[in-house]
Amino acid sequence: MRGTLARARNEGRAALIGYLPAGFPTVDGGIRACTTLLESGCDIVEVGLPHSDPVLDGPVIQSADTIALGGGVRIADVIRTVREAHAATGAPVLCMTYWNPVDRYGVERFAAELAAAGGAGCILPDLPVEESEGWRQAAERHGLATVFVVAPASRDERLARITRAGSGFVYAASLMGVTGTRESVGREAAELVRRTRAVTELPVCVGLGVSTAAQAAEVAAFADGVIVGSAFVKRLLEARDDLDAGLAEVRELAGELAHGVRTAAREAPAG
């Protein structure tokens, strides 16, 4: 994964990172959708583990999670989605999950199965760094990156502590709140990236709110990666009864966003 981010940087651009929950609209349909993202311009994909109480996720992703859970999605299906999307494309595929399902499943078991599936790592938005040692040890044993989330409200000393514990990249939430598309990404994201880079050499990727090529280009000007989730999920939701049409919409959006990140005027990192 670090290699993928480094290659994008060497090409003078940010990476495009897509997100979709496993099991949505079905397990097989979700696998096709994740593969489509990687074949249509995304450099990396995050596969979400659907959760019944997704505190960070807005209504669009909550709706998709409800559909996936109603369809009986299980952790085995999440692992399968990672395996097949990675096998089909060779691209890095991460799992994004809340901590409770991992804890209940078994930390060592989850890490081992994710790694065996070719997973690149795990994003854990609600796992406090202070309680993460057990996971980080298991992840390190299995060659998985651990990605933590930072937010504009994080103080500098907190940013330093979080980034010291993480690996792979840092997920910078562009603003306080939940996921979802927005009219403007805002200046808070650029300031958060600047502050985060001051305390770490890890790549800093920005998510929450990006939905258009113009917004992707705006974020790509200062971040190492642009993370898009709700906009892709929304396209699939709107075409729920016609998977092929939904995949065509996802493919079109991924292409537009990829063009945005590849044509952005890059700012040189400070320092």
- What is the pLDDT confidence band of residue 183, given thresholds at 50, 70 and 90? very low
Is 154 within a domain?
A: no
Is 244 within a domain?
A: yes
Q: Cα dist. 117→2, 129, 223 in Å?
A: 18, 25, 29
Q: What pLDDT, on the 0 to 100 scale, is given for residue 186?
A: 59
- What is the pLDDT confidence band of residue 168, given thresholds at 50, 70 and 90? very high
> Is 60 exceeded by the pLDDT of residue 185?
no
pLDDT tens digits for range 114-137? 999 999 999 999 999 999 999 999
Asked if 45 and 17 touch (Cβ cutoff 8 Å), the reply is yes
Rounded mean pLDDT, 206-213: 88
- What is the pLDDT confidence band of residue 31, given thresholds at 50, 70 and 90? very high
Q: What pLDDT, on the 0 to 100 scale, is given for residue 254?
A: 98
> Is 70 exceeded by the pLDDT of residue 266?
no
- What is the pLDDT confidence band of residue 271, given thresholds at 50, 70 and 90? very low
Q: What pLDDT, on the 0 to 100 scale, is given for residue 53?
A: 72
Asked if 196 and 158 touch (Cβ cutoff 8 Å), the reply is no
Is 71 within a domain?
A: yes
Is 201 within a domain?
A: no
| Number of domains observed in the structure of the chain | 1
pLDDT tens digits for range 33-79? 999 999 999 999 999 999 887 666 788 999 999 999 999 999 999 99
Q: Who has greater pLDDT, 254 or 182?
A: 254
Tell me what percent of the residues of the chain surpass a pLDDT of 90.
83
Is 13 within a domain?
A: yes
> Active-site positions?
46, 57
> Is 70 exceeded by the pLDDT of residue 180?
no
Is 169 within a domain?
A: no
Q: What pLDDT, on the 0 to 100 scale, is given for residue 22?
A: 98
**Full residue range of the structural domain in which residue 11 is found:** 6-146+207-263
Rounded mean pLDDT, 151-167: 95
Q: What pLDDT, on the 0 to 100 scale, is given for residue 178?
A: 39
Is 178 within a domain?
A: no
The whole-angstrom separation of Cα 113 and Cα 102 is 11
Is 165 within a domain?
A: no
Query: What CATH number did the domain enclosing 103 receive?
Result: 3.20.20.70
